[in-house]
Structure 1
Amino acid sequence: MASPAGTEQPIVTVKSDKLKLSLLIAMGIIVLLGAGAAYLLLYGPDLRELENPAPAPPVFFPLETMTVNLQSDDSMHYLRIGLTLELTDRRSQAALVERMPEVRSSILMTLSAKRPEDLEGIDGKLKLAKELLAIVENADGVPGNPIRVQEVLFTEFVIQ
């Protein structure tokens, strides 16, 4: 009929022990996950570095010094100019080397059409740098040209 209270007690204890064991295992897993997350936050890689990798170093490509006659009404003037191109990558450098005769010719033609007054002051030089940048990037006249120039740098600039 009714079983004594002593026989039901072990069944409850076994279920209670399994529940305690499951809770202890779950708590241990949670503690380990928390410790792993804390370690990654403190000693792991900086997420800002992963999102914004360091840019590739620029490639500087010096051009040979050029000397050209300038347009002038009163007397003969010439320009001696040294240029270095700051390129975005090595692929641009390879494309520039292939197109160097065209690039030099275009630069020389552009420079020889200038007047001394066009090149005076910082504004004249900045305008010339922008013109030369466009000339180099459009050397072959094909859209999507692989030559990418960040900046045209003057290494020598003498008007006489």
Structure 2
Amino acid sequence: MASTTAAQETIAIPDRKGKWKRIALIVLIALVAAGAAAGGMYFFLSKNPGKVTVHPPAPPVFVPLEPMTVNLLSDDSDHYLRVGLTLKLADDKMQAHLSDHMPEIRSRILLALSNKHPEDLETLDGKRALAKELIGLIEQPTDAGAPAIHVEDVLFTDFVVQ
């Protein structure tokens, strides 16, 4: 019987050296992982933030046109339209090109306006349609090979139908 109790005693005593080795290995792995994480953060966050610059969009350029007065098409009596326009452009280059060709652009606008009926311009939808039509007329090329003028919007500053 003595031999069976001795065998039970050797099984019941745990190995303390192996337990400390496992704990030391886990702590070492955790320290290496924390060091790698800290090094990665330092590497990615220490890059020069000046390389990525975000430029705010350039403010639009507004070009007011002289007010125009035209006779409208009418069957019963004389009607006229007095309109003031301001063009919203993307940049100064468009403004320079526009001012170089202003007589031709004003002529296009006057011809388009004089071809309208008073009833077409009474409603809000009629005015919006006119603005879109004027954008198309202004954006047509003025010279062969010349850059096209890009108009973002046509704004009415004065609009009188009588």
Same fold by TM-score greater than 0.5 = yes
CA spacing shift, 1:30–1:126, aligned 2, 3 Å: closer
| Identity value in percent | 51
Q: Which residue of 2 aligns with 1:133?
A: 135
Q: Say whether residues 1:57 and 2:59 are aligned partners.
A: yes
The count of residues paired between Structure 1 and Structure 2 equals 128
Q: Is the 8 A contact 2:81 2:160 kept in 1?
A: yes
> What one-letter code is carried by the residue in structure 2 that aligns with 1:124?
G
Residues 3-18 of structure 1 mapped to structure 2, 5 A cutoff:
none
SS of the equivalent of 1:67 reads strand
Q: Which residue of 1 aligns with 2:116?
A: 114
SS of the equivalent of 2:87 reads strand
CA spacing shift, 1:132–1:143, aligned 2, 3 Å: farther
Question: Structure 1: 5+ residue runs without aligned partners?
Answer: 1-27
- TM-score, length-normalised on structure 2? 0.69
Offset, 1:145: 3.0
CA spacing shift, 1:65–1:137, aligned 2, 3 Å: same
RMSD over aligned Cα atoms:
2.8
Q: Which residue of 1 aligns with 2:41?
A: 34
SS of the equivalent of 2:120 reads helix
- TM-score, length-normalised on structure 1? 0.69
> What one-letter code is carried by the residue in structure 2 that aligns with 1:55?
P
Give the 4+ runs in structure 1 shifted more than 2 A. Answer: 28-41, 141-146
CA spacing shift, 1:154–1:72, aligned 2, 3 Å: same
Q: Is the 8 A contact 1:103 1:139 kept in 2?
A: no
> What one-letter code is carried by the residue in structure 1 that aligns with 2:133?
E
